[in-house]
Amino acid sequence: MNRFVVVLGLAIGLFSTCQEKKYPPQLTAVSPTAAPIGADITLSGSQFGEDPAVTIAGQTVPTKTRADNAITLTLPQLPIGATTVRVQNADGTSSPLPFTVLQPLPFVSGFSPSSGQAGSEVLISGTFLNDVTEVRFGNGTSSAAAFQTSGNSLRVVVPANAVTGSICLRNSGGQFCSLSVFTVTVPQPAPTITSVVPEKGCAGTEISIRGQNLQNITAVKFGSQTVPVKSNANNVVTVITPEFGSVQPVAITIQTAGGLSNEGRFTGAPQATISQTPVPNGLIPGGPLTLRGTHFSSVTGIDFMNGNGEVTATVNAASFLSNESGSCMIKVPVEATATSVRVNNEYGHGKPYSISKLSGSDAINTGNVATNVGSITTGVISDGCDPASFFYCSPNRGYEIGFKYFSSRCNMKGYVPEQLQGRLFETYVAYRYTTGAALIATDDLLKLERNSQNTAYTGTVIVVAGNNGKPVTYVGNMTKTGDIYAYSVQDGALFKMCKKDLKYFSYPTPTICSDCK
């Protein structure tokens, strides 16, 4: 009996030693002990074996790397909160270790706009944005106020202490910062106007507005009229003035991102406008030109312009032959070449009016015009005290006419000084030269302009043909040979006078005027 028991014990012992030994996994640590969904964690321990499985919150989760003493994995979608982690292999299951599944980290895929100042709104796009508890701009110390939150968008207001940098979002799972940088801009101060030059003008006048903080202009206004900015540099804004219906004070304002400026003061006026056909209907170099229109008050000058709008000649108001309300008469500069003419007043340039040169008006030109004539006399008796005179043939009159420089012996003047529009003229009465050397007074007048120093004649002449009580005025020039070409202020008709070298008491030959045509 005893012998049987001994044999049975030996058999059981031999069977036990033949069974394989079990090595269940030993889980010793989880790092970190809390992590959001999508984060990587590491399990440390021993005896994990060749094909370990990991369960978290009772769910088997895929692993990234496996070794006998370490396992790494990315947390999949799991219930949020405290739970346990276990490792299981063919030999058994490890003891559980505590672990907390946190909320997924917010993710920023983009934001708009990419820059802005404190108080402006920013729309952030991404994922897991439902439970964001904090939004910071750069290293700002204050969180932005958030509203209109959804899972993939978040609208916030840039806080006062925001600085340029990444936009960082935080929830219970942690913080995520954008790769792109948001630029915090400094609010622009309100613009200030310090001067407007010139301070008055009509439509089309270029003005310069000076001031401070004139960047990022959104509008420049003259009263309620908005005008485009021509240039803007170094706090100097250049614009072209709009139309004005009357002479009026106008407030200039500038709107920028920083606000509305103070008012710059300006006086606007309508442009001087030539509204009637000039008389004559075209240009005569050296001849008269009468312009009529509106807004001719305080006229300063008349410009002649070529097809490119370039000024080729200007007649200043001081040189006008007449200047009345709505009408002014000038002597056209000999050098004037123009396709248009304009009247300028104290407020600026008038509107151009098309005009062309009259045909057959080439008698006076820059090559033959006299501009500095010292003496005009041709007949002086040897003692120098008899009447000095000068003589002309006139095809218009059909006879020779004379003008006394001295009216009688001993140098008494034979002319009358006269001021016309502030300019000095010598006015002579014409005398018909007749048989027997007699001079018979006519009703014709010759006016010769003197220079401002009263040392010489300018060459400008005005002829008043009496015409038996119906005088006609002609304006023109003296040539270098002494001849006179003058044109009617009414229709531009030519009045020609050929100078002749006659002595006061000499009788002309019958053919002396034959070459004056």
Tens-place pLDDT, residues 446-498? 999 999 999 999 999 999 998 878 899 999 999 999 999 999 999 899 999 98
- Integer-rounded Cα Rg, in Å, for the chain is 53
- 217 and 198 within one domain: yes
In a domain, 341, yes or no: yes
Tell me the residue range of the domain where 89 lies: 26-102
- 447 and 407 within one domain: yes
- 260 and 202 within one domain: yes
- 324 and 251 within one domain: no
At 121 the three-state DSSP class reads strand
CA dihedral 199, 309, 283, 292 (to 10 degrees): -30
Contact residues for 101 (Cβ-Cβ < 8 A; gap 6+): 34, 35, 36, 37, 56, 57, 75, 78, 79, 80, 81, 83
More confident position, 96 or 408: 96
Q: What's the pTM value of the predicted model, to 2 decimals? A: 0.62
User: Minimum mean pLDDT among 210-214, 297-301, 394-398, 409-413: which range?
Assistant: 409-413
- 476 and 407 within one domain: yes
pLDDT score recorded for residue 421: 85
How many Cα atoms sit within 13 Å of 66 on the Cβ side? Answer: 15
12 pLDDT exceeds 80? no
- Cα–Cα distances (Å) from 287 to 124, 477, 479, in that order, read 77, 8, 13
Contact criterion met (CB below 8 Å) for 23 and 44: no
In this structure, what DSSP letter does residue 9 have? H
- The residue ranges of DSSP E strands in 349-453, in sequence order, are 353-354, 389-394, 399-404, 406-408, 412-413, 416-420, 423-433, 439-450
Q: How far apart are CA 116 and CA 156, in angstroms?
A: 12
Q: How far apart are CA 306 and CA 342, in angstroms?
A: 11
Q: Token pair of 233, please?
A: 């540099």
360 pLDDT exceeds 90? no
More confident position, 346 or 5: 346
Total structural domains within the chain: 5
153 pLDDT exceeds 80? yes
Boundary residue ending a domain (184, 218, 245): 184
H helices of 191-331, in order, are none
- 496 and 404 within one domain: yes
Q: Token pair of 69, please?
A: 């003493």
4 pLDDT exceeds 80? no
pLDDT score recorded for residue 179: 93
Q: How far apart are CA 315 and CA 330, in angstroms?
A: 7
CA 94, distance to chain mean position in Å, is 80
- Report the CATH number that the domain containing residue 294 is assigned in CATH: 2.60.40
Q: How far apart are CA 368 and CA 485, in angstroms?
A: 11
- 34 and 75 within one domain: yes
Q: What's the burial of 136, exposed, middle or buried (CB within 10 Å: 0-12/13-18/19+)?
A: buried
110 pLDDT exceeds 90? yes
pLDDT score recorded for residue 56: 95
